[in-house]
Amino acid sequence: MNILIGISGGIAAYKACEIVRAFKKRGDDVRAVMTSGAQEFVRPLTLQILTENTVGTETFDATFESEIGHIDLARWADVVLIAPATANLVARMAAGMANDLLTTIILATTAPVVVAPSMNTQMWFNPLVQRNLRTLADEAGYLVVDPDSGELACKEVGPGRLPDPPVLLDMVDAAVAPKILADKKVVVTAGPTREHIDPARFISNPSTGRMGYALARAASAFGADVVLVSGPTTLDAPAGVRLVEVTGARQMHEAVMAEADSADFIVKAAAVGDFRPKQASDQKVEKGAMAGKLELERNPDILAELGQKYGARTDGPLVVGFAAESFDVVERGKAKRERKGAHMMVANKIGGARSAFGADESQVAVISDRGVTEYGPASKDALSREIWREAVALANSRTGEEDGR
């Protein structure tokens, strides 16, 4: 993919080097254009070495124009990423100005434009900045990425940090992704559940929620209206996704069922606890009092209930389950799909070096009436895109449409 990165003059400009390295690592062709302010933070030679291309710095640079003119560069790009985008640059873009090389290219390109603002927290909250960002999103159709929160260079704490490269890579992919889920409502569950014994203790599992969040992020990139029902995690909600936070299995059951009838797809990627204490204490139980048995009772089986309600129907949501197995992954995944009544099952292996819980990469088998297809090892974001393509293909096969690939 041809990626043009535009860099403006904020302290986060140094992060452009890591962003370029991330794109190059996965095989993208990258060119960089820098404002005069950006050159105060990062030298053009650094970006030239990393991109392996001449860096654009001036509108009327004879050397740059002789190699690739600014209009040709606007046509060359498959996507334009502005990172960081300062408040100044955002304002100039919103006003339609073309007073330097970068803004000229932005106006001339027909490629998707991704804008990653980075600035002081109070500047971010300024209503004029917010108005300019809405103009870029609503009128120009640019994809605006919310900044991360945390301690900034000015020592203030709040939103304004440039997101890390993996997030920006995801947003770039989202900008060019085919909208195979346009006008569809998707419900995704993610993370673990917690069943409290008392205020200090609970029963849970090692799920990080990363796969569920990746599925929600990918669905949003594919154009869906996404509801993410999440157990306790340390993850930030993907941009554009409606987050419903829950703790226990009964809360998750209630939240999912409230959204189910209006959904087109339900993906149950959460690791829901099978049991909960029969009687939870609202006060901490002393250690000596816990020496006896802990009575448990079953939690609702959300996937089985969804399968029973929608599995035999063609007019309801397509139900996708997950099966975390330690052996005979495909066969056990097939059996679980039949047992639960799900339309599709994603089986993955837990245990070992590539454990499904917390690992950077996973390997999955997608099981449906269309057969079994294995993917990976690959990142959870890459796998999530393949899972959605499989789900859309299965949904379309039920209605006789093309598979959406």
222 annotated to bind ligand: no
The structural domains of the chain, with segments of one domain joined by +, span 2-176, 185-399
Domain 2-176: CATH superfamily, name plus number: Flavin prenyltransferase-like (3.40.50.1950)
Report the C-alpha gap between 42 and 47 in whole angstroms: 8
For the segment 271-296, the average pLDDT, to the nearest whole number, is 82
78 annotated to bind ligand: no
> What's the pLDDT band for 284 if we cut at 50, 70, 90?
confident
303 annotated to bind ligand: yes
185 annotated to bind ligand: no
Active-site positions read 154
Q: What is the DSSP track for 64-113? A: HHHHS-HHHHHHH-SEEEEEEE-HHHHHHHHTT---SHHHHHHHH--S-E
Does residue 393 surpass a pLDDT of 50? Answer: yes
Q: What is the pTM of this model?
A: 0.73
202 annotated to bind ligand: no
Q: What is residue 330's predicted lDDT score, i.e. its pLDDT? A: 96
Quick one: angle between helices 329-340 and 302-310, nearest 10? 60
2-176 against 185-399: fold identical: yes
Question: Is the domain defined by 185-399 classed in CATH 3.40.30.10?
Answer: no
> What's the pLDDT band for 68 if we cut at 50, 70, 90?
low
